[in-house]
Amino acid sequence: MIKHQQRGLELYCFESLSSLPGVVHAVTTRHGGVSAAPYDSLNLAGGGDDPAAIEANLELLRRALDLERLAWPEQVHGIDMLAVDGDAAGLVGQADGLATDQAGVGLLIRQADCQAVLLVEPEKRVIANLHVGWRGSVAGAVGRGVEFVVERYGVDPAGLYAAISPSLGPCCAEFINHADELGPAYLPYQVRPNYFDLWQATWDQLTAAGLRRDRIETAAKCNKCMDSFFSYRREGETGRFGTVVALV
């Protein structure tokens, strides 16, 4: 990933997506916003933070990326997808993935340990952003997201680029109750007792859905290990960073 400053915000970009024309994307850090501790400072969602501060932070992000609007779902750790059409903006409904073929709208997933998984089809100009925590991973959110853009927009999975955001790495993804929560299908991803590589699980789900291996980029950055990202597991009461993608 590439770290850069953009209008006062410290952001990361994926190398693979940065070279695609007509696509803007970023992963936010906690730096550059207006929220007070423990949400300091670029908190993008919920919890006990001042709603006006969150709104101001979302506007800072929109302006930093020079987008007309942002759209985000009410995330519930499921697999439902929503298409963002027309002039939809802000909270667009309950879902764990958004997709669009329209320019100017940034699809935002907000996170503090979960993965955001970006899908980009640069030729047909279709994008999606999936929220994939362990519940979503187990429930098939990745496969469902690919299926949605295939069915709705006629995308060929082999034409998709994918990027897996900073999130809990195999260093920190501890599941003491993994037999109940993850189940036996995740045992191949156990890197040491009770620790799992959910990045690899997503990678495998993307290739199983038909994506090319050379078009998948994993950030390989663990948000619990890096102070520049919020982490629920590290901090408890804390903010949410975000991953956003848009067609321009």
Taking the alpha carbons at both ends of the chain, their separation in whole angstroms is 21
What are the C-alpha distances in Å from 26 to residues 75, 178, 207?
19, 32, 23
Nearer to Zn ion by Cβ, of 30 and 224: the residue is 224
226: tokens are 């890096």
Question: Is 226 an interacting residue with respect to Zn ion (CB under 5 A)?
Answer: no
**Total binding residues toward Zn ion, as defined by CB under 5 A:** 6
Which member of 13, 89, 103, 225 binds Zn ion (CB under 5 A)?
A: 225
Q: How far is the CB of 223 from Zn ion (least distance, A)?
A: 8
Binding mask 140-179 toward Zn ion (x if CB under 5 A, else -) reads -----------------------------x-xx-------
Separation between Cα atoms, residue 204 and residue 222, nearest integer Å: 19
- The DSSP H or E segment spanning 65 is none
Q: How far is the CB of 181 from Zn ion (least distance, A)?
A: 19
Question: Is 79 an interacting residue with respect to Zn ion (CB under 5 A)?
Answer: no
Nearer to Zn ion by Cβ, of 70 and 198: the residue is 198
3-state DSSP assignment of residue 157: helix
Separation between Cα atoms, residue 175 and residue 44, nearest integer Å: 26
The binding site for Zn ion (CB under 5 A) comprises 169, 171-172, 222, 224-225
